Amino acid sequence: MTVKCNLLLASAALAMSLSACATIQPAAESSEVVLVERITGALSYRERIALPPEAQVEIVVSDITLGRNQELILSRTMNTIGQASPPIPFSIDVSKLNLSDGPLYGLRAFIREPDGTILFRTSEPFLLDLRSETVDIGDIRVSTTSPDDPGLAGIPDLQDGEWRVTQIGGDVVAQISAPTMTFTADGRLYGSTSCNRFSSSYGLDGNSLEVGNVAATKRACEAGLMQQERRFLDALSLIENASLEAGGFLVLSGNGQRLVAVLN
């Protein structure tokens, strides 16, 4: 009888132990690392000016450690404003893979006419504290500017130099492993996927861009870089349009694909 009771007690203890494990395990599984920093806020201005239909808000987050002429753009958005007067809400995501404790980070904001002309802008970058997963910076004041204000940079030329990819599809690219592209005057296109070197040809007629067959070296890299390389090369081969935007960025699109890049 004593042996039977001991066995029952042991079985009950084991069941309670397993039940405790089953209870604790989901809590561990529910924790996940958030790799994107979301910054929210609103823009306002003093002037009693109604914004034109299809006006746009541009938000830029940069590493501003080295000053105005050497800013490293980490993320940029351009969206149509759905209202005629302030406050104008905005949000922008920044990859945490691009952030560290040392640099200074700043946010600039521009309100543009549909043709890209700047109506309002921040006079200086708004300093950011990016130590939490979501940052609400509240209300930011923007001011009027001259009609010929180029913003952070004027409209570049496709052949101005090496372009660093900041977005593939809707995903922000970690800048430490960003693909690059160079378009030459004689129709050559070459660069790095961040794993391998690639080369191709291109033809540009207005905004229509045709990319030729792409050849790349065959070096093997870690899985994440290989996946990014495949997405980049697949998108590049399907591109049909190139748009050189005020604010200093290049948008390549076509067949459901989209690449965004800035000059290095």
pLDDT in tens, 109-146: 999 998 888 999 998 889 888 777 778 999 999 999 88
Q: Which phi and psi (to 5°) does residue 11 adopt?
A: -65, -40
pLDDT computed for residue 150 by the predictor: 67
Q: Which phi and psi (to 5°) does residue 57 adopt?
A: -110, 130
Residue 25 pLDDT more than 90?
Answer: no
Token match 């987050």: residue? 61
User: How would CATH label the architecture of 162-263?
Assistant: Beta Barrel (2.40)
What is the helix (H) or strand (E) element at residue 135, kind and residue range?
strand 134-141
pTM across the whole model:
0.52
pLDDT computed for residue 250 by the predictor: 85
Token pair of 14 as six digits: 């084991």
Instruction: Give the range among 42-46, 217-221, 241-245, 256-260 with minimum mean pLDDT.
Output: 241-245
Which residues does 154 contact at the CB level (< 8 Å), separation at least 6?
246, 248
In this structure, are strands 241-245 and 249-254 parallel, antiparallel, or unpaired? antiparallel
pLDDT computed for residue 6 by the predictor: 45
Q: How confident is the model at residue 175 (pLDDT cuts 50, 70, 90)?
A: confident
Residue 14 pLDDT more than 90?
Answer: no
pLDDT exceeding 90 applies to what percent of the chain?
A: 40
Which residues does 45 contact at the CB level (< 8 Å), separation at least 6?
86, 111, 120, 141, 142, 143, 144
Please state which of the four CATH numbers 2.30.30, 2.60.40, 1.10.533, 3.90.1150 is assigned to the domain occupying 36-144: 2.60.40
Mean per-residue pLDDT for 245-249?
64
Token pair of 42 as six digits: 């609103």
Q: Residue ranges per domain, the chain?
A: 36-144, 162-263
Q: Which phi and psi (to 5°) does residue 13 adopt?
A: -65, -40
